[in-house]
Amino acid sequence: MAQLWGGRFTKETDQLVYNFNASITFDQKFFHQDVRGSIAHVTMLAAVGILSEEERDSIIEGLKSIVADVDAGTLQITCEYEDIHSFVEANLIQRIGEAGKKLHTGRSRNDQVALDMKLYIRDEVLAVQKCLIQLMQVLHKIMQEHIHTYMPGFTHLQKAQPITVAHHMGAYMEMFKRDEARLSDIYERMNYCPIGSGALAGTTYPLDRNLTAELLDFYGPTLNSMDSVADRDYVIEFLSALSTIMMHMSRFSEEIIIWNSNEYQFVELDDAYSTGSSIMPQKKNPDIAELVRGKTGRVYGALQALLTTMKGIPLAYNKDMQEDKEWTFDAIDTVKGCLTLFSGMLDTMKFNVPRMEASAKHGFTNATDAADYLVNHGVAFRDAHGIVGQLVLYCIEHQCSLDDLTLDEYRAVSPVFDSDIYEAISLETCVNRRNTIGAPGPESMQAVLAVDEQYLQEEAKNVSKKGSGCHE
């Protein structure tokens, strides 16, 4: 057992207790962040005179050699160590001797793990943002290609009004933009450095916390040492944001699953993103969309688990907080995987344009426009609504669409109708006349596409700029 404590204990920890207490199996995930934090810490210790320059250089060289060996696979992180902190420190001491024992000066595992977790989450916030931007770039391309591809818009899963594929995709674009903005907000709120808070009450060493924060690209140090080691709000916020991302992808997946059905046939999924059946040779299943929908509950579970863990913890650090990692790591990996696969599925998905247009035309999605036609010819809206309702009923009984009715059939219900009714209820007219901000008309959509284009360029630059600092 390699552990960082034991002086006041008179016997070895029971092996089952040790195993139950250990976190090395999962906290090794932020090995690189732990080393990054340690390098900054010893750099600061030397700057304030607690370490000599020789000790600093020796420690940093030793830490970098450990990273190189782990990355090369010549040094294994094993369960011999209680946690990643003890792994790093034990190997450092073995390599450089006495100087390695000074690594932990002025810090506790409480503020060390708080730093490691914050560095890891900060890196992953940016990684998820990049995945979101890639997904939005795919959506943007689809929107550009389908400004004039007509389809029915739905409420209650009932055909409502005609829209375009671009407009429908644009709704998800707005959702994912909000998701990306939430991640930016989390980054701004969490980007303060906890190291130097000690176990809970700071330290008597003359640490320069501003310097450490600067070295690690934080905006500054945290302002309360107790909160610093007890805070997991940023993890909860991140899991909440990830849950919302999954919720949006799940809604999208549900639609793709419906659109891919034999009844709809709106889209065809690429073979690379579909599976078959072991018994039914005709099947082509939307498994990626279904798995994204299913894994949403997995991410929700991580959020609920952490909220439940944190709700009863008094200040400051408690061992319960070790439970924040496994759920969080799994949720992050799940979301990044789902975003990447979902982007690929969308990018290769084919739209059945004739089928979508026919569905819009034969689903009475132009009924509102027929009523508006009457209103524009002096009929009160409520009366117009009733007249068109009669026409729809007539069409249902005769298995036809509003477009199929003769002018005589129109005039049999209302003499107000004239030959221009057909132009008024065409899909092109129904969509193209809707050009208020946010509507599906081509002018409105072109304006939105220009806004989205600028947004994607700027956000890609912002994320890249933040990432370059975090990974130095």
pLDDT digits (tens, 9 = 90+) for 369-381: 999 999 999 999 9
Answering whether pTM is above 0.75, one says yes
Compute how many other C-beta atoms are within 10 angstroms of the C-beta atom of residue 68.
11
CATH class of the domain whose range is 367-425: mainly alpha
Task: Kindly state the average pLDDT of the residues 455-472.
Answer: 82
Q: Which residues are catalytic?
A: 156, 277
Query: pLDDT at position 36, please?
Result: 98
pLDDT attached to residue 283 = 64
For residue 284, what pLDDT is reported?
Answer: 80
Per-residue model confidence (pLDDT) at position 472: 40
Q: What is the pLDDT of residue 471?
A: 42
Give residue 404's identity as a one-letter amino acid code: D
Mean pLDDT for 135-148 is 98
| Mean pLDDT for all residues in the chain | 93
Mean pLDDT (whole number) for 188-214: 98
User: Domain segments of the chain: what residues?
Assistant: 15-105, 110-144+163-353, 367-425
326: left (phi over 0), alpha (psi -120 to 50) or beta: alpha
pLDDT for the residue numbered 118: 98
Q: In this predicted model, which residue has the larger pLDDT, 9 or 295?
A: 295
Q: What is the average per-residue pLDDT within 351-370? A: 92
Average pLDDT over residues 446-459: 97
Across the range 229-248, mean pLDDT stands at: 98
User: Mean pLDDT, to the nearest integer, of 254-270?
Assistant: 96
CATH architecture label of 110-144+163-353: Up-down Bundle (1.20)
Secondary structure of residue 351 in the 3-state scheme? strand
pLDDT category of residue 265 using cuts at 50, 70 and 90: very high
* Contact of 43 with 34, CB cutoff 8 Å: no
Q: Nearest to residue 187, comparing CAs of 230, 128, 228?
A: 128
Q: In the 8-state DSSP scheme, what is residue 2?
A: B
Per-residue confidence (pLDDT) for residue 188, from 0 to 100: 97
Q: Has residue 222 got a pLDDT over 50?
A: yes
Distance CA 141, CA 159 (A): 26
Q: Which pLDDT belongs to residue 9?
A: 44
Q: Is the pLDDT at 226 greater than 60, yes or no? A: yes
Q: Identical fold at 15-105 and 367-425? A: no
Lowest pLDDT segment from 5-9, 144-148, 428-432, 454-458: 5-9
Q: Is the pLDDT of residue 419 over 60?
A: yes
SS3 (DSSP) at 289:
helix
User: Which DSSP helix (H) or strand (E) runs through 162?
Assistant: strand 158-164
* Average pLDDT of the segment spanning 127-152: 97
Fold for the domain defined by 15-105: Fumarase C; Chain B, domain 1 (1.10.275)
pLDDT score of 281: 59
Q: What is the number of residues in the chain?
A: 472
CA distances from 428 to 44, 142, 150, 228, 364 (A): 67, 19, 8, 59, 14
Residue 443 or 472, more confident: 443
| Residue 457 confidence (pLDDT) above 90 | yes
pLDDT in tens, 1-38: 455 545 554 545 556 665 555 678 888 999 999 999 99
Query: Which tokens sit at 99?
Result: 């100087």
Residue 466 amino acid letter: K
Q: How confident is the model at residue 278 (pLDDT cuts 50, 70, 90)?
A: low
Lowest-confidence segment of 102-116, 244-258, 276-290, 418-432 by average pLDDT: 276-290
pLDDT exceeds cutoff 80 at 469: no
Cα–Cα distance, 212 to 9 (Å, whole number): 33
Measured CA to CA, the distance from residue 239 to residue 33 in angstroms comes to: 20
